[in-house]
Structure formats: structure tokens, C-alpha cells
A and B are shown apart, each in its own frame.
Chain A
Amino acid sequence: EADIYQTPRYLVIGTGKKITLECSQTMGHDKMYWYQQDPGMELHLIHYSYGVNSTEKGDLSSESTVSRIRTEHFPLTLESARPSHTSQYLCASSESGGRVGYTFGSGTRLTVV
């Protein structure tokens, strides 16, 4: 079944640690996105990719980085986690930018202590 997968679902980690949030999709979508959401707030776009070797920063400045070496894989990395990075991170993919609904993963709830 075509889907989009995010791991881990929940992560509690200490300040200064390096972390990678995984996102994989089996739909062959070219476009992939990372959104960050705090409780009661809108989803903020932090990174997007329109294909392999293409990555762009979104509207919300983020200290995270992303890579797109394979179509199906779009991991997000934080080199040194801080408490301000505590948030929910949502990965999504789509066939074309905005004209069809995005398919979202289940999200990663990150807590940095």
C-alpha cells in the first residue's frame, strides 16, 4: 500500500545530541516537504524538495538540514539539538505543488531536554 512513513514517532533526547528524523514514501512523489507545528499553531514549512538533489528552505527559519539523494527518502537532521527545537515535525509528499492534497506522515514528536 502506498504510504509515507516517519520514524521515530516520539523522541526524547538531550541537548547537544545529533538527531535524524526519517521520512520515506512509496508513492513515487517528486515533491516532499517538512513542516513544523507547535500546539495550537499553524504548520510552518521549514524545508521542501521538488526532486532528487533539490532542497530549499521554507518560510520558517530552521537550524535543521535535509537531503534528497533518493526520490523516496527525505531525512531531516539536527546537528546539535536544543530545547527550542522541541516540536512536532511532519513530513509530506505530493505529485504536484498544491494542486492536489498532500499526503502526510504520522509525524515525529521531538522533545529536547
Chain B
Amino acid sequence: DQQVKQNSPSLSVQEGRISILNCDYTNSMFDYFLWYKKYPAEGPTFLISISSIKDKNEDGRFTVFLNKSAKHLSLHIVPSQPGDSAVYFCAASGDGYALNFGKGTSLLVTP
């Protein structure tokens, strides 16, 4: 049973505009959420995270928003750049257990 869901397999955005990637989770025990970025033929790289005690975390062009009541989080990239084109995975964790990953969203940023 998939506990972390990314319902948009792909997203295309123009350079300079905002990219919004969404993620939903079902397990109310999850209290730590992460986003990973993955290029083809490479392993995922950690991008940004958020704890359930916060509703927003910002790092440069990347901001993650968490809505615990809706069990929803989103990653905003502003402004989007062609180098941001990659697959983005949402991941969630509960206390002491390994990460659960979504299926990923493939982002294409066009010039």
C-alpha cells in the first residue's frame, strides 16, 4: 500500500516561472518529510526537508510547505531554471524507520 503519493508524473514549466510539485501521504505517524532530486543514471540527492512541527522551510529558490491536516506537502521552485529539470521524489519518515518514497514527478524547465 503506497503511503506517499505523487499524483503528477510530469510537469513542464517555463524558465523563470514557479514550479510547484505536490505530494500526499496517508500515514499520520510520519513526522519528517524530504524532497530528493534525481538525474538519469545517478542516485537521488537530498534537496530540502521539513519537520512536522513546522509548516514552511525555505532554502534559496526552494521552499517546502506542509499542511498536516490535509496530509499534503508541496515543493516550490522560484524561479525555475533549466538545470532544475530532473525527477523529484517526495519522501516521508516516522520515528526510527526508513524513508518511504513517492513515484516521483519529472520536471522539465523549458528555456
Inter-subunit contact A33/B98 (CB<8 Å)? yes
Interface residue ranges of B31-54 to A (CB < 8 Å)? 32, 34, 36, 41-46, 49
Q: Is the CB of B41 within 8 A of A43?
A: no
The range of chain A's interface size is 20 to 34
The answer to whether A98 and B104 have CB atoms under 8 Å apart is no
For chain B, the bracket of interface size reads: 20 to 34
Contact code string A56-85 (vs B, CB < 8 Å = 1, else 0): 001000000000000000000000000000
| Number of inter-chain CB pairs below 8 Å | 62
**Contact for B45 among A6, A9, A35, A104, CB less than 8 A:** A104
Q: Are A106 and B41 in contact (CB under 8 A)?
A: yes
Chain A min CB distance to B106 (Å): 9
Q: Identify the stretch in B12-20, B65-73, B89-97 within 8 Å (CB) of chain A at 4 or more residues.
A: B89-97
A6 to chain B: which residues have CB within 8 Å? 43
- Neighbouring A residues of B43 by C-beta, 8 Å: 6, 90, 92, 104-107
List residues 1-43 of chain A with CB under 8 A from any CB of chain B.
Answer: 6, 9, 33, 35, 40-43
Query: When A and B form their complex, which 9 residue pairs have the shortest distance between CB atoms, in order from nearest?
Result: A98-B93, A101-B46, A104-B43, A43-B101, A42-B103, A42-B101, A104-B44, A106-B43, A97-B96
